[in-house]
Amino acid sequence: MTVKFPPEHIVIRPPVEAYSVLIAVTGGCSWNKCKFCGTYKGMYGTTQDYALRPIEDVKDDIDQAAKYNYHGFPVFLAGGNPTSAPTDYLVEIIKYVRIALRNVQRVSCYAKALDILRKSDEELDKLAEAGLDIVYMGLESGSNTVLRLMKKGTTAASFIKAGKRLLNAGIKLSLYIILGLGGYKYSEEHVKETARVLTEINPTIFRFRTLNISPSTPLWEDLQSGEFTLLSPFENLKEERDIIANLGENVTSQVFNDHVSNYCSIDSTNIKVDREMFVKTLDSYLNDPRIKKLPRKNLTQM
């Protein structure tokens, strides 16, 4: 049985926001067409349509957080992509958070590249000035072929433009990369183009996730028909190794493997400094014969 959640019910948040105050701003995702994503299509036994919450309801939730003394915590503005909301609406919410809650460590949210491109530089500056510290954006792949096949709804060039504009506005950017998203056929292109886009943007952070396919996603049908084949743990680690190895010398991003789907947990606070160590560590994994025998996790929920 699938339950439809109203927008005030929060479905997901990044692992890094596990101890944050969660304030629902939008429900669902304004795009919701990606082939690999089942988050709002029943992955958790729930669905959630895209909706923008009334601002007074959002403020009531912030007031409740203040009432129960949730001061000093990070605040995550929840929903698949709250940056789809009008800028003045978001600015009012962010300012209200900063007033109602004392010593907020950071204010963050998910974002889509197209949301950012629809906003002017002045609007992005307003969000930064109001106190939006960081956004989490799913790049997934730098390959236009993979992005098109996965119905991501944007291009590598759009990601580069959106990422640079966010950083220029003073908003930190955390990008997600999905290992294995190109399958066998486009693995090489996925690696090469993802490294290129990361080099162009030089995001504050990028994070690896390993592709697992839920039965609630359109990609599940491709998996069952044999049209799409999942990579092995060894091959996913090889993709990560090669993405890091192909980064430009300008990239100073933090890098994390902070997800249950991954097959390694190595991190870096500055990949420019740590790249050689990072690659050598992954090489040591790849040279371990046990890694080639490692079974896939085959997670159906993330």
Looking at CATH, the fold of the domain delimited by 1-132 is given as: Transcription Regulator spoIIAA (3.30.750)
Q: How many CA atoms lie within 13 A of 221 on its CB side?
A: 6
1-132 and 137-295 in the same fold: yes
Looking at CATH, the fold of the domain delimited by 137-295 is given as: Transcription Regulator spoIIAA (3.30.750)
Average pLDDT over residues 13-39: 95
pLDDT surpasses 70 at 183: yes
Residue ranges covered by each domain of the chain: 1-132, 137-295
- Residue 3's pLDDT band, with cuts at 50, 70 and 90, is confident
| Pairing relationship of beta strands 172-179 and 134-140 according to DSSP bridges | parallel
Question: In this predicted model, which residue has the larger pLDDT, 1 or 158?
Answer: 158
pLDDT score of 171: 98
Model pLDDT for residues 113-154, shown as the tens digit of each residue: 999 999 999 999 999 999 999 999 999 999 999 999 999 999
- Residue 1's pLDDT band, with cuts at 50, 70 and 90, is low
Mean pLDDT of the chain: 96
pLDDT surpasses 80 at 164: yes
Average pLDDT over residues 287-298: 93
pLDDT score of 42: 84
pLDDT score of 11: 79
Average pLDDT over residues 233-254: 98
Average pLDDT over residues 20-39: 95
Average pLDDT over residues 172-188: 98
Average pLDDT over residues 288-292: 94
pLDDT score of 100: 98
pTM, two decimals, is 0.96
pLDDT score of 299: 84
pLDDT score of 266: 96
